[in-house]
């Protein structure tokens, strides 16, 4: 009997329509994708996955197969002939330092804004969004989940509630479409989410527009919660499924998880190299790398095994303290939405979930020995050893006791506070989410947490040092950056898989918020 053979390029067209629409670049261009990424045709693997094909995949693959064996074949030239390469819009913008920092901030809202995407080019990795939004800047050409909350803080300060509302609507749209908020609006991000800040976005909008906002987004709040807790009801003690783990006393806490066990397409060559040198099953390495990307902390020794190397990464073995604080916030926001509807029984049920999570965070994440909140290693049934700025989140969400908050404040003062602000961890590893680097969202969450327990002097010190550092770098470079070196403020931050990015959404949002607070001191 004669076999029917389908070229790999045709397989995508045999998928159900919904899957074909969301096919990733690697699925669309098998063979060619690996050749481009592993051949380092572009310095940044993200360039190719963001490129737009100029012909159908089958046509491009047929041309590649026909031409690649010819003498003098140039893969880079081939890609540029068959794909529209992305541009970094923010890189085209040149600030006028003489006009000052606030003028720069005001201008960046326009530079980083993008219009609604109702339709996307054929075979593009981009996903539609119904309303305008802001991107972080640089290589980050799409909306990003947790970045956006901190950008929205700045939009509130700039009296741009219209954009706060439209971005919140976009995240509600993504939850409706996919059942969760993807890492970003790209097909290659559809296997994972990011730190769940949607409830905080809703609360931010409710502060300005009233509790009717809670009712407007209640369906999406509930659906996001269902995504994080999927499989929990039937989970046995000591077992994990997807993003949830049942602990020895029956409590439920969450972890980061990505449903794929393949290399990240946007960092394909890097992930393949890590797996090859790990001595571990490649699928396990890829899943832990992806889970760390879902955390937003990609990468940090926070996630590493005893060797302290990226190849030892074990993100899925850890229950992150900051993630569980965010889910505590989500449970409380859902409870508030039922209070606003006068649905007392449902409100109490959600309040009970929040209380149970708070008790679990206290039981498993507070380390009396370290006087700090840490992640919990559920596989080894012990608290994780590294102290990181994630340990300030229980203050931000009022989970800590006053005594614990005082101990954490002391630890911040003694170990984390540097010339330019708070270092992310106490370890210098070369990874970008370790010392000496610092990030705007973590400064903001720590400052908020300290203020909620009336450690205002320390909060003010952190705020002032961060503002001074941001201002100094702006005067030197004309830019606001993704991350900063707080140990040696005269040296730009480094580490990570890509060059230092400017733009930069969450830096702008946090900086403007802190600047405005200086002009209206808290009482």
Question: Which residues are catalytically annotated?
Answer: 298, 482
- Backbone phi, psi, residue 50, to 5°: -95, -5
Q: How far is residue 228's CA from residue 325's CA, in Å, rounded to a whole number?
A: 13
**Phi/psi-derived region of residue 416, left when phi > 0, alpha when psi is between -120 and 50, beta in every other case:** alpha
Do 438 and 425 meet the contact criterion of CB atoms below 8 Å apart? no
Q: Give the integer Cα–Cα distance in Å for 58 and 64.
A: 10
Please report, for residues 2, 271, 313, 316, 343, the alpha-carbon distance to residue 287 in angstroms, rounded to integers and kept in the order given. 39, 10, 10, 8, 41
Residue 272: enclosing H or E segment and its boundaries?
A: helix 268-276
Gap between the Cα atoms of 18 and 299, Å rounded: 32
Q: Do residues 290 and 256 make contact, with C-beta atoms less than 8 angstroms apart? A: no
Q: Is 127 helix (H, G, I), strand (E, B) or coil?
A: coil
Number of neighbours of residue 279 by Cβ within 10 angstroms: 9
Cα 324 to its chain centre, rounded Å, is: 15
Q: Is 318 helix (H, G, I), strand (E, B) or coil?
A: strand
Q: Which two tokens stand for residue 130?
A: 């119904």
Whether omega before 436 lies within 30 degrees of 0, making that bond cis, reads yes
Question: Cα Rg for the chain, rounded, in angstroms?
Answer: 23
Closest residue by Cα to residue 7 from 51, 60, 52: 60
Residues 144 and 201: beta-carbon distance below 8 Å: no
CB 494 within 8 A of CB 432: yes
Instruction: Decide if 321 contacts 388 (C-beta within 8 A).
Output: no
């Amino acid at each position: 009997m004669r076999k029917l053979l389908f070229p790999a390029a045709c397989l995508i067209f045999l998928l159900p329509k919904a899957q074909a629409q969301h096919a990733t670049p690697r699925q669309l261009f098998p063979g060619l994708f690996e050749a481009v990424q592993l051949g380092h045709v572009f310095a940044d693997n993200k360039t190719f996955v963001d490129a737009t094909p100029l012909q159908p995949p089958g046509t491009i693959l047929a041309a590649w197969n026909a031409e690649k064996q010819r003498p003098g074949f140039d893969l880079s030239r081939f890609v540029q002939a068959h794909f529209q390469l992305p541009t970094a819009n923010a890189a085209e913008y040149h600030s006028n330092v003489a006009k000052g920092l606030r003028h720069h901030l005001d201008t960046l809202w326009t530079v980083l804004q993008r219009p609604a995407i109702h339709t996307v080019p054929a075979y593009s990795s981009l996903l539609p969004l119904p309303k305008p939004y802001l991107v972080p800047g640089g290589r980050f050409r799409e909306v990003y989940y947790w970045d956006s909350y901190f950008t929205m803080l700045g939009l509130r300060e700039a009296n741009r509630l219209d954009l706060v509302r439209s971005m919140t609507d976009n995240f509600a749209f993504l939850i409706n479409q996919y059942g969760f908020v993807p890492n970003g609006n790209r097909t290659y991000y559809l296997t994972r989410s990011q730190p769940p800040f949607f409830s905080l976005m809703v609360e931010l909008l409710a502060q300005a527009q009233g509790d009717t906002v809670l009712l407007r987004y209640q369906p999406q709040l509930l659906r996001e919660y269902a995504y994080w807790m999927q499989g929990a009801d039937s989970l046995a003690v000591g077992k994990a499924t997807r993003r949830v783990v049942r602990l020895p006393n029956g409590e439920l806490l969450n972890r980061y998880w990505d449903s794929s066990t393949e290399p990240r397409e946007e960092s394909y060559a890097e992930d393949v190299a890590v797996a090859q040198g790990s001595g571990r099953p490649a699928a396990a390495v890829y899943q832990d790398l992806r889970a760390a990307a879902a955390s937003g902390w990609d990468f940090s020794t926070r996630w590493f095994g005893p060797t302290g190397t990226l190849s030892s990464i074990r993100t899925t073995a850890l229950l992150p303290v900051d993630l569980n604080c965010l889910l505590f916030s989500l449970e409380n926001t859902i409870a508030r939405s039922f209070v606003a509807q006068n649905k007392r029984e449902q409100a109490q049920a959600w309040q009970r979930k929040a209380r149970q999570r708070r008790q679990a965070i206290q039981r498993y994440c507070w380390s009396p020995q370290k006087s700090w909140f840490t992640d919990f290693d559920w596989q080894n049934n012990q608290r994780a050893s590294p102290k990181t700025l994630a340990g300030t989140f229980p203050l931000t969400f009022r989970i800590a006791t006053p005594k614990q908050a005082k101990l954490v404040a002391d630890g911040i003062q003694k170990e984390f506070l540097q010339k330019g602000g708070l270092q992310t961890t106490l370890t210098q590893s070369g990874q970008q989410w370790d010392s000496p680097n610092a990030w705007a969202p973590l400064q903001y969450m720590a400052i908020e947490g300290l203020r909620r327990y009336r450690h205002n002097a320390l909060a003010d010190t952190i705020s002032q040092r961060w503002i001074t550092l941001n201002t100094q770098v702006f005067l030197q470079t004309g830019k606001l950056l993704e991350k900063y070196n707080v140990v040696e403020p005269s040296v730009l931050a480094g580490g990570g898989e890509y060059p230092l990015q400017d733009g930069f959404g969450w830096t702008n949002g946090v900086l403007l918020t802190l600047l405005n607070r200086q002009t209206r001191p808290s009482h």
